[in-house]
Amino acid sequence: MANEKSSVTIYTDGAAEPNPGPGGYGIVLMAGKHRKELSGGFRLTTNNRMELMGVIVALEALSKPCLVNLYSDSKYVVETVQRGSVLRWQKNRWMRSPGQPVKNVDLWKRYLEASARHSIRFHWVKGHAGVAENERCDELAVAAIQQYDLADDQGYLTDPSSSRSLNPQLATRVSRPIPLNPGPAVEPSEGAPCRKCTENLVKKTPKPKARKPGQTYFYEWYLFCPGCGTMYMVNEAKRSID
The whole-number pLDDT of residue 226 equals 77
Phi, psi (rounded to 5 degrees) for 173: -65, -45
How far apart, in whole angstroms, are the C-alpha atoms of residue 67 and residue 50?
23
| Given 17, 21, 23, 73, the catalytic residue | 73
The whole-number pLDDT of residue 161 equals 61
Q: C-alpha dihedral over 175, 190, 181, 19, to 10 degrees?
A: -30
Active-site annotation holds for 199? no
Helix (H, G, I), strand (E, B) or coil at 238: strand
Q: Which fold has domain 6-157?
A: Nucleotidyltransferase; domain 5 (3.30.420)
- The residue ranges of every structural domain in the chain are 6-157, 188-242
The whole-number pLDDT of residue 62 equals 96
pTM, full prediction:
0.69
**Structural element, H or E, at residue 162:** helix 160-164
The whole-number pLDDT of residue 233 equals 74
Active-site annotation holds for 60? no
Q: Based on the number of CB atoms within 10 Å of its own CB, is 221 exposed (0-12), middle (13-18) or buried (19 or more)?
A: middle
The whole-number pLDDT of residue 84 equals 97
Active-site annotation holds for 191? no
Active-site annotation holds for 138? yes
| Given 17, 21, 127, 138, the catalytic residue | 138
- pLDDT per residue as tens, the chain (242 positions): 556 889 999 999 999 988 899 999 999 999 999 999 999 999 999 999 999 999 999 999 999 999 999 999 999 999 999 999 999 999 999 998 888 999 999 999 999 999 999 999 999 999 888 899 999 999 999 999 988 778 999 999 887 666 444 444 444 334 333 333 334 456 778 888 877 677 788 888 877 777 666 667 777 887 877 776 677 777 888 888 77
| Given 24, 40, 54, 128, the catalytic residue | 128
How far apart, in whole angstroms, are the C-alpha atoms of residue 144 and residue 61?
18
Nearest residue to 224 (alpha-carbon basis) of 207, 196, 201: 201
Active-site annotation holds for 34? no
User: How many other β-carbons are positioned within 10 Å of the β-carbon of residue 208?
Assistant: 7
